[in-house]
Structure 1
Amino acid sequence: MKSAAVYLMIGIIRLVSLLPLGGAHGVGWLIGIMLWYSRSGSAKVVMKNLELCFPEKTLQERQKLAKSSLIALGKTYGEMGVAWMWPIPKVNKLITQVEGMEYLQKALDDQNGIILIAPHLGNWELLNHFFRQHLFMTVMYKAPKIPALDKFIFKTRKRVDVGLVPADKGGVIKLFKLLKNKGVIAVLPDQEPSLKSGVFAPFFGQQALTGKLIGDLARKTPAYLLCCYAKRLDDGNYGVVLKPANDEIRNKDLLVSATALNQSIEECIQDCPEQYQWVYKRFRRQPDGTKLY
């Protein structure tokens, strides 16, 4: 992405942040509709993923879900200015429901550290605002190559008092140290890792290259494993959902561990499948070396 495009994107985010939430969602709805009816590359990836993950659904059902998914994705884009630029107390008021608070409280009471497993479901940026009210967490951060974008994103995330470590070997070492000191970390579990950092495991019945990091962290520490996501409610506000992850993630067998992780992610997605980021090429690499996209 060229610098001019980055500054334009930042400018658009700032402009949208001036709108009320309904206005931001309206912009997002328009983005999603354009992605769907233009038969964009994103729409094609979504349809391919839904075909793989929901073969039992009819074509019409998958098309309806794909359209809803792209609209939800557009709304997530529209909410960037909300999450990143609205006053923090104003953002906090958007979270009107919390399900599973008892699990977070147990994790805090145990004082063994916490691994927050946050799939790309709903609006994951709002989780920063929710958790900052209860704890201090650290996440991995891969800096964009363009300095202006890096500065903008870094600033917006640091304002909610989130610890950031680089997405490299040094950052992984820091995560282990944090957990050994009973800290809290958050990890995105559904990004495709490198071949050496992952293992192929079933995800909605399909082989998906799945990261080993969460399993490694879980096996070597007694940290509480907690899945979390912020879903968009019918009234436009948000509900945070917290649920314990499958403890088999700690299994020494890498395949068993990765399968348990994917099962935990699936359970979250089934709650609001239209709000998952199906546009991501989750099955790009296959065990036989072929690529599905």
Structure 2
Amino acid sequence: MSRLLIAVFSILSHLPLAVLQAVGVALGWLVYLSSPRYAARMRENLAQSGLATDAVSQRRLLRQAVSATGMGALELVIAWGRSPTSIARLVKNCNNWHIVEEALAQNKGIIFITPHLGNYDIAGRYLSQRLIKRPQPIQLMAMYRPPKMAWLEPLMNAGRVREGGLTAPATAAGVRMVMKTLKARQTTIILPDQVPGQGDGVWAPFFGRPAYTMTLAPRLAQMDGVEVILFFGRRLGWGRGFEVEIARLSEPFTGDKTTDGAKLNQAVEQLIRQAPAQYLWSYNRYKTPAGVAPAETPNP
């Protein structure tokens, strides 16, 4: 079955980007209009962010976000179905690649951090392809949370391991794989805005509201010879492709979990502000994981 699904995705992935995005917009609105809970969460998260200052701009941002979320879902067909070389041709520009080269020149392992913003999978495939084709090839290991729908996992991994890419599940064994990769001065990608499980996070503000935030990325950043680099894949106009933005972490992590959780969320917020309509506002970012005490409510 997995081979059949991979073959189907490979065929569909060669549809024009504009066609997939158009279908994605329709899908995005279908889900939004048919799921009151989904729609309410998206509206609530957007309002919480404060990125739209009045009712008119809130409605505009909501419409854009609904469409962008659907586009992102259909673009996964490309991210998982095409070769990294083919995907790289969709990236029309990459800003600040020199940050990556400077870290590699200093013989550092790199933790690439990207939230669910724009198309993180296509941007990740671009990084993987560009790193592996350097004169001194560097491998990229993508850390991922196994999906609830098990049939998706072979599709995800089939796309991510093409042309030298690596994957590691977000498990204890996967963390050991990532640590080994960083010690070898290779690179990894971590998505910092997924809600971690009990014991793997701290409460930290995210757009002014407590969100249970991973401690893994800041902890790995304390390893010797490791640098943290931020990036995301901005979606350009309809069918025009993508642009990869790369940035340094403004302040290094300290080793204090609470402080670093806040720093991590601040870094994510800064990326989101560059393309707010392209963030995955439908995600239940503020949920309380099983077994975790709720965030303390500040005294009035």
Shift of 1:125: 1.1
The answer to whether the Cα contact below 8 Å between 2:80 and 2:155 also exists between their aligned partners in 1 is no
Shift of 1:240: 0.4
Structure-2 separation of matches of 1:261 and 1:166: 21
1:124 aligns with 2:129: no
In structure 2, the gaps of 5 or more residues are 132-137, 296-300
Shift of 1:256: 1.2
Structure-2 separation of matches of 1:82 and 1:237: 11
Quickly say closer, same or farther: Cα 1:47–1:107, change in 2 above 3 A: same
Q: Provide the residue aligned with 1:25 in structure 2.
A: 21
1:53 aligns with 2:57: no
1:261 aligns with 2:257: no
Q: Provide the residue aligned with 1:81 in structure 2.
A: 77
Q: Provide the residue aligned with 2:206 in structure 1.
A: 203
State how 1:134-213 maps to structure 2 within 5 Å. 134=131, 135-144=138-147, 148-213=151-216
Structure-1 separation of matches of 2:106 and 2:204: 31
Percent identical pairs in the alignment equals 27
Quickly say closer, same or farther: Cα 1:9–1:159, change in 2 above 3 A: closer
Which one is further off, 32-41 or 258-267?
32-41
Shift of 1:12: 7.6
Letter in 2 for 1:149: L
1:214 aligns with 2:222: no
The answer to whether the Cα contact below 8 Å between 2:84 and 2:126 also exists between their aligned partners in 1 is no
Which one is further off, 228-237 or 110-119?
228-237
Which one is further off, 30-39 or 222-231?
30-39
The answer to whether the Cα contact below 8 Å between 1:141 and 1:165 also exists between their aligned partners in 2 is yes
Letter in 2 for 1:80: L
Q: Provide the residue aligned with 1:225 in structure 2.
A: 228
Quickly say closer, same or farther: Cα 1:145–1:39, change in 2 above 3 A: closer
Letter in 2 for 1:181: A
Q: How many corresponding residue pairs?
A: 286
Structure-2 separation of matches of 1:218 and 1:191: 18
In structure 1, the gaps of 5 or more residues are none
The answer to whether the Cα contact below 8 Å between 2:49 and 2:208 also exists between their aligned partners in 1 is yes
Q: Provide the residue aligned with 2:243 in structure 1.
A: 239
Q: Provide the residue aligned with 1:113 in structure 2.
A: 109
Which one is further off, 219-228 or 209-218?
219-228
Shift of 1:13: 4.8
Q: Provide the residue aligned with 1:133 in structure 2.
A: 130
1:69 is aligned, of 62, 65, 74, to: 65
SS at match of 2:164: coil
Letter in 1 for 2:118: G
Letter in 1 for 2:248: P
Letter in 1 for 2:278: Q
SS at match of 1:247: coil
The answer to whether the Cα contact below 8 Å between 2:83 and 2:159 also exists between their aligned partners in 1 is no
The answer to whether the Cα contact below 8 Å between 2:51 and 2:276 also exists between their aligned partners in 1 is no
Q: Provide the residue aligned with 1:289 in structure 2.
A: 294
Which one is further off, 85-94 or 9-18?
9-18
Structure-1 separation of matches of 2:202 and 2:170: 19
Shift of 1:113: 0.8
Quickly say closer, same or farther: Cα 1:165–1:8, change in 2 above 3 A: closer
Structure-2 separation of matches of 1:59 and 1:221: 48
Letter in 2 for 1:245: L
Structure-2 separation of matches of 1:126 and 1:138: 14
Quickly say closer, same or farther: Cα 1:55–1:267, change in 2 above 3 A: closer
- What CA RMSD, in Å, does the superposition of the two structures yield over aligned residues? 2.7
**Which digits, 9 at most, give the CA deviation of each residue in 1:241-283, with x for residues without a partner?**
00011333x2122111111111111110000000011111111
SS at match of 1:98: strand
The answer to whether the Cα contact below 8 Å between 1:31 and 1:74 also exists between their aligned partners in 2 is yes
Structure-2 separation of matches of 1:10 and 1:41: 31
Shift of 1:206: 1.1
SS at match of 1:133: helix
